[in-house]
Amino acid sequence: MHGSYFPELEKGDILSSPSFILIVLSIIAIPAVFRWLFPGLISTRSLKGLSVAGGILILWEIISALGLVNPVLLPPPGRVFSNIVYMWAIGFLQPQIVSTLFRLTYAFILALLSAVPLGILASYSPKYFSPLEPLVNAARVIPAPAWLSLSILWFGMGHASAIFIIWLACFFPIFLNTVAGVSKVEPAQVETVLTFGGNKFDVLVEVILPVSYHHIVTGARIGLGIGWITLVTAELVSVDIGSGLGWMINDSRILLDTTTVLSGIILIGIFGTITDTVLKRFEGLVQGWS
Amino acid sequence: MSIVSGGMAGITFVRHLSGKMMPEKVYRVLVVWALFLFLWEGSLYAGIFKSMLLAPPTAVLEKTFYFLEKGYLQINIAASLSRFLAGFAIAIIVAVPSGIAFGLSRGLYEWLSPVLNFIRMIPPPAMLPFVIILLGIGETPAVFVIAIGCFFPVFMNTMRGVREVETIHVEVVQTMGGGRADLLRHVIIPSAMPTILTGVRIGFGIGWLVLVCAEVVAADSGLGFMIEGARLLLETPTVFVGMATICVLGLTMDILLKRVEKFFILRNGGGYLNYREG
């Protein structure tokens, strides 16, 4: 009654409910034992979070095993995890992850390289940039996915159109936060550097970048969040794109393969958490700097 | 071409006649826009861009009037707005009470926030295919996904606002013999209000984004659908009509929300506003 990406997986290789529950329990229990042996190594908070997440998974598995929900609509988590492992083992998953992350990082780095210098320029020579403000404000209000159709017209289906709208999504938060950050620079700080014989480059490196660093990283985090949303939309719409986690989700949805749909959602959540954590680390860096 | 240049001359003329009647700011915005549209139209006229890829502003205007006359634009605006407002309202109704609960209870926060943080990192459009399987094609998945998009900013900000309530204010009410309801009504909600409203505005932005995503991916009405449908037919002017409408609606709602923010804060004594401006 429903299709599947991997019919061979249906026949076997699926984690049985008891073994899945056992694995989850041990994932909760091992850190708990560690904490008991070496107090202070693992925080109580992460242990609490882990046990709630594990509890939800076990409950979900039991509900599925008892047949309370239709497995086509909501497959058991054990099947979802074996599906992820299987997709990795046959080498199907890696290209999807690589192309999704490639699109995201490419557009994100492009956005950083364009938005930060433009933001600094805009707040330092308002004479040339304030006339453009009405246009920037209008462009800012149009959500990036609304540009998708236009971007497909301009760049065709594929990497380029996706990268364009992800760049657009990341650009405005970074740009506006850079402008806000640079406006926090006090004239006295700039004058101090100039008095001690520094040039404009010194002002940039010694004053403007350190002062606005925090704002820029905050903008980058907001931009990356919106970039993820836009990335997924681009991959869902451009069916011809043929790769990426979003594409995988939509393609398996058409086959009513909910297991692969859920695998994709969970993987996107994991990678979103990873990219956000990396940027959070950068946010922490500045405390030592300034 | 001539419409735009005529408009530009008109603006300058009106400005000249009215003297100081038209504020400098408005005049500047109008001139920049007119110049921009003039260059846009002119570049197409001169053949620098293909008109299939970049519709001339006059064609966009013509199309807008045509759609308004036929009622096509109104139908799509109504579809988008009703979908969005339903999701937005559900999100606020759920997020504010749960945010207050999470802000007040440390235990609730410590146990559940890791799981919520994981769900927060999943872009709402990624859930869309799954929600479609669960709830079927139609209005519900779109509204659900918009609600999820709006939920987290409002929730996180409410939680933060409640945590930042000054202990001394709480202690004053407790000393005066106030109960939990008094505490909630006279201290927690008023002092968390500015932060909650900031969350509402951020949530609006994300929800608006998700609305367009949902309509582009899976809908049979609305502005996002109109854009994507026009793209498939290579109707570039219609794509621009849709984008311009989304832009105008978004700006209007953002201004409205700013007004609401100001109103609520002024009613609560305006402490926040004074702090912000002074």
pLDDT digits (tens, 9 = 90+) for A61-75: 899 888 888 888 888
Claim to verify: residue B210 and residue B254 sit in the same structural domain: yes
Residues A111 and A244 in one domain: yes
Contact yes or no for A52 and B115 at CB 8 A: yes
Number of domains in chain B: 2
Mark whether A129 and A55 lie in a shared domain: no
Dump pLDDT digits (tens) for A36-88.
Answer: 888 777 777 788 888 899 999 999 989 988 888 888 888 888 889 889 988 99
Same-domain status, A103 and A219: yes
Q: Outline where DSSP puts E strands in A89-241.
A: none
Domain containing A130 — which CATH number? 1.10.3720.10
**CB < 8 Å to B216, chain A:** 145-146, 148-149, 233, 237
* Among candidates B133, B206, B213 on the partner chain, residue whose Cβ is nearest the Cβ of A261: B133
Among chain A residues, the shortest Cα distance to B246 is held by: A142
Reference B126, options B145, B147, B150, B152; nearest CA is B145
Backbone angles phi, psi at A69, to 5 degrees: -120, 155
Interface confidence (ipTM) of the complex: 0.85
Measure CB to CB from residue B113 to each of A49, A73, A276 and give the nearest one: A49
**B123 and B13 inside one domain:** no
Q: Do the domain assignments include residue A87?
A: no
B225 plus B99 within the same structural domain = yes
In this predicted model, what pLDDT tens digit does every residue of A174-215 receive, in sequence order? 999 999 999 888 888 888 888 888 888 888 888 888 888 888
Query: Is residue A88 a part of any domain in this protein?
Result: no
- Residues A234, A137: Cα–Cα separation, whole Å: 23
CA distance B100 to B161: 9
Domain that holds residue A13: 7-74
**Closest chain A residue to B124, measured at CA:** A229
Looking at the structure, tell me whether residues B118 and B243 fall in a common domain.
yes
User: Do B91 and B19 belong together in one domain?
Assistant: no
Residue B63 belongs to a domain: no
A109 and A234 part of one domain: yes
Contact (CB, 8 A) for B57 and B35 = no
Amino acid at B210: V
Burial B49-71 (b: 16+ CB within 10 A, else e): eeeeebbbbbbbbebbeebeeee
Instruction: Inspect the interface and report whether the beta carbons of A138 and B247 lie closer than 8 Å.
Output: yes
- DSSP for residue A197: T
Contact criterion met (CB < 8 Å) for B208 and A145: no
Whether residue A43 is found in the same domain as residue A137? no
Q: How many domains does chain A have?
A: 2
B225 in a structural domain: yes
B132 located within any domain:
yes
Residues in chain A with CB shorter than 8 Å from the CB of B129 are: 236, 249-250, 253, 261
Same domain, A99 and A58: no
Model confidence band, residue A7 (pLDDT cutoffs 50, 70, 90): low
Question: Do B145 and B24 reside in the same domain of the chain?
Answer: no
C-alpha separations of B187 from A206, B105, B190, B262 in Å: 44, 16, 6, 19
Under 8 Å between Cβ of A20 and A76 = yes
The answer as to whether B54 is a domain residue is no
Task: Let me know whether A109 and A150 are in one domain.
Answer: yes
Size of interface A-B (CB pairs under 8 A): 158
Q: Are residues B79 and B190 in the same domain?
A: yes
CB–CB contact A146 B228 (8 Å): no
Residues of A whose CB is below 8 A from B246: 141-143, 146
Structural domain contains residue A264? yes
For chain B, give the mean pLDDT. Answer: 86
Q: Report the C-alpha gap between A32 and A262 in whole angstroms.
A: 28
Same-domain status, B124 and B216: yes
User: Which domain range does residue B8 map to?
Assistant: 1-47
Verify that A221 and A106 share a domain, yes or no.
yes
